[in-house]
Structure 1
Amino acid sequence: MTVQAWPLTDEQRQIVELCRDFAVREIRPRAREVDEADVVTPMDIFRKAAEVGITDFMLPVEYGGGGLTDVFTQCLVQEELCWGDPGIGNLVCSNGFFADPILVLGTEDQRKRWLTPLAGRDAPMTALATTEPEAGSDAASIVTTATRVDGGYLINGQKAWISNAGAAEFYVVFAKTDRTQRSRGVSAFVMRKDGLRFGEPMRKMGQRAIVCREIFFDDVFVPESDRLGDEGQGFRGLMGTFDISRVILGAAAVGAARAAYEFALEYARTRKQFGVPIIEHQAVAFRLADMATKIEAARLLVQHAARTIDAGHTATGLAAMAKLTASETAMFVTWAAVQTLGGWGYSREFPVEQWMRDVKLEEIEEGTSDIMRLVISRNLA
């Protein structure tokens, strides 16, 4: 664990230690098994995380959560859990992504009804449904519709690549209430699993602990009381959620990169070639130096973005920088770890090949690296 640039409170140190211990005891021993199972959500790990407060630490106290609502603390947690395994780490904290748009757009009654059940050991799993077959990073182009009827809306359309779909009990869904508009036509709704149809689990390169499916909406009725905010406010809530989630995903990437670096460093210290440990070979030593430097730089940028959001400032461009830097750092570091281990790195004998597959998702989800560069360019001072 590196020295923190910002001092931690006692509460922050305690949750970091809790998550580090959970990663060692519960996540690392199961990571390979879960990866090879491919399309099975490890609910037992999620339940164990709920028992110790990891699934609800980010929820406000008034809804039964742990009250550690600041983005900086969420980044500390995400880094430790994803050091254990990126897929499982992201899974056990996924209720925070569901909660964000409700906190941004929801009424007090909606917050109580939908967030209070997430607290405690029996917390349901949740999902955020934005992506569609023809609408990924361009969320304003979604075509799922919400048509007004007496007392509410009928939702029709299709979502794709939805994390936890099928396993989740609660869903925040984004749909067009005005098809003549792009972003201003998007509204947000919260609903239960009942009435939704799900596709088969999607086969993925990595992060297999999080099962993704398509969701099909066929005249699914949602009462008006379950619309979040006014009509047309959904995109605003989604973008606010993205600023936070991109920074947190950046922390996840840093955690995975740290795991790969530590593994490669230990291997380089013990593996001998030409009669000496390979860490004494200049090419390997320089590669490890690059890995360590990039991880430190990525962590500082992620935590700076988190602190900026926590201070109440708009950080859209900075959040994109954090995600871009951290995800590409993780891709480089896991590649470098495989390279350092040589043939063993390419085999399933060691975990670095899995981490390399896992972190590729961080360059894609919630905005690809190309989209992040576009967001940054549009937010230059």
Structure 2
Amino acid sequence: MVQSAPTPTVDLDALRATAQAFARDEMRPVALRYDETEEYPLDVLRRAAGLGLTCYDLPAEHGGGGVESLRDRCEVIEELAWGDSPIFWVIAQGGFFAGPLLALGSEEQKRRWLPPLCSAEPPACAVAITEPEHGSDAAAIETTAARHDGGYVLNGRKTFIGNGHIADLCIVFATVEPGSRSRGITAFLVEQGDEGFVRGPRLPKMGSRCYPAAEVAFEDCFVAEDRRLGGEGEGFRGLMWVFDVARVQLAAGAVGLGRAALELAVEHAKEREAFGRPIHEFQAVSFRLADAKLKLDQARLMTRRAADLADEGQPFSTEAAMAKLAASEASVFATSAAVMTLGGAGYIRDSLAQKWYRDAKLDEIWDGTSDIMRLLIARSLFA
């Protein structure tokens, strides 16, 4: 859970240095290969787990690194996403999955499902919210959970679910009271092997290719009552908390991705010559990169502001939306600027610039589109 201060025994400088080195030496060199093959980076995930990078943000009592401060997490996230955004999200899956469990689960449920996330071979995890007909309007989900013989029977379909086709563990949000919108939404944990839990098919994506997305279905899928997280109807509260935290973390990742693109573009602009001089001496190039720097630094400050509010226990939903909006759009701008600066060299498929441009677009869509972020911010103005 987000607390008011970092755990004092955690060496944040050492953790940040570990993240930087791993991003530089293990993630960046293989980023293009995993983008081209769309292979799941299991070996990278296991090496990250060996260094504690898959669970640094999970509670120490369950085997995690115990980094409780959202501000501190964001610093680690930026460094890892600088290495490669989709590989980072593979590494970070356990923390995202743990969000609803920490927000809604009992102590017994935490003892049951958190320690495996902190192991040397963490399970593939998924959180199933989005449906074919309901994305931004999470209160309208139609997947049902009907009471039956000491548990519930789940029926429905989800789509665009990260790790959906390989998920060993899946938290699914369903309604126990169809038509009641948020009042009936309840969270359940489903495991691979549960009858009626259907994984796949995988969905081909424009970018972020090695972090797979898929459809999942629940076809008369029975789950015992001890698989329900929290009480009936408490799922929406947990979901909104998860969204707020995830948006701040996503913002930090977007800044890291944009920073990588800007650094690449700056180096190219120093070395590339045209008309007898380095191209950075042309304002058309340098001003574009200056704008990218401005947008990224603004987004980082907004991300830190939202994280600080969360750590202080203050409301931060609006600030999370602002950070997510600013960072995702700054990242798209920076990656586009990198492609333009590199020109043809940035457009061919052996260039990281074009990959990062495709990867960045996802950050404007998932965990709430830019349109929804603007809607949330506007509502805060007139509440």
- Relative to the length of structure 1, the TM-score reads 0.96
User: Post-superposition shift, 1:10?
Assistant: 7.4
Within 5 Å, which residues of 2 pair with 1:253-292? 253-292=254-293
Partner SS state of residue 127, structure 2: strand
Identity among equivalent pairs (%): 49
User: Post-superposition shift, 1:91?
Assistant: 1.2
Looking at structure 2, the residues matched to 214 and 22 of structure 1 have their Cα atoms a distance apart, in angstroms, of 31
- State the aligned residue count: 373
* 1:17 and 2:23 matched: no
- Provide structure 1 residue ranges, at least 5 long, that are not aligned to the other structure: 1-7
- Provide structure 2 residue ranges, at least 5 long, that are not aligned to the other structure: 1-7
User: Post-superposition shift, 1:341?
Assistant: 1.0
Looking at structure 2, the residues matched to 33 and 69 of structure 1 have their Cα atoms a distance apart, in angstroms, of 34
One-letter code aligned to 2:20: R
Deviates further, 358-367 or 176-185: 176-185
Corresponding position of 1:50? 49
One-letter code aligned to 1:328: E
Within 5 Å, which residues of 2 pair with 1:45-124? 45-124=44-123
Deviation per CA, 1:133-164: give whole Å up to 9, x if none: 01111111111100000110000110101101
User: Post-superposition shift, 1:166?
Assistant: 2.5
Partner SS state of residue 153, structure 1: strand
User: Post-superposition shift, 1:120?
Assistant: 2.3
Corresponding position of 1:202? 203
One-letter code aligned to 2:347: Y
One-letter code aligned to 2:184: G
Kept in 2: contact 1:316–1:379 (CA 8 A): no
Corresponding position of 2:165? 166
One-letter code aligned to 1:149: H
Deviation per CA, 1:83-111: give whole Å up to 9, x if none: 11110011101111110111111111111
Looking at structure 1, the residues matched to 343 and 179 of structure 2 have their Cα atoms a distance apart, in angstroms, of 55
Deviation per CA, 1:302-328: give whole Å up to 9, x if none: 111111101101111100000000000
Partner SS state of residue 216, structure 2: strand
Corresponding position of 1:4? none
Partner SS state of residue 168, structure 1: coil
Kept in 1: contact 2:166–2:199 (CA 8 A): no
Corresponding position of 2:26? 26
Looking at structure 1, the residues matched to 208 and 296 of structure 2 have their Cα atoms a distance apart, in angstroms, of 20
Corresponding position of 2:298? 297
One-letter code aligned to 1:44: D
Corresponding position of 1:177? 176
Looking at structure 2, the residues matched to 210 and 347 of structure 1 have their Cα atoms a distance apart, in angstroms, of 22
Kept in 2: contact 1:129–1:171 (CA 8 A): yes
User: Post-superposition shift, 1:24?
Assistant: 1.1
Corresponding position of 1:3? none
Partner SS state of residue 198, structure 1: strand
Kept in 2: contact 1:78–1:90 (CA 8 A): no
Partner SS state of residue 219, structure 2: strand
One-letter code aligned to 2:139: A
Deviation per CA, 1:253-311: give whole Å up to 9, x if none: 00000000000000000000001000111111111111111111111111111111011
Corresponding position of 1:192? 191
User: Post-superposition shift, 1:9?
Assistant: 9.7
Deviation per CA, 1:326-361: give whole Å up to 9, x if none: 000001111111111111111123210100000100
Corresponding position of 1:37? 37
Deviation per CA, 1:148-192: give whole Å up to 9, x if none: 001100001101011011322111110010003001111001121
Deviates further, 328-337 or 163-172: 163-172
Partner SS state of residue 202, structure 2: coil
User: Post-superposition shift, 1:215?
Assistant: 0.5
Partner SS state of residue 323, structure 2: helix
Runs of 4+ in 1 over 4 A off after TM superposition: none
Partner SS state of residue 205, structure 1: coil
Looking at structure 2, the residues matched to 356 and 315 of structure 1 have their Cα atoms a distance apart, in angstroms, of 29
Looking at structure 2, the residues matched to 35 and 91 of structure 1 have their Cα atoms a distance apart, in angstroms, of 13
Partner SS state of residue 216, structure 1: strand
Corresponding position of 1:235? 236
Looking at structure 2, the residues matched to 14 and 306 of structure 1 have their Cα atoms a distance apart, in angstroms, of 21
One-letter code aligned to 1:166: H
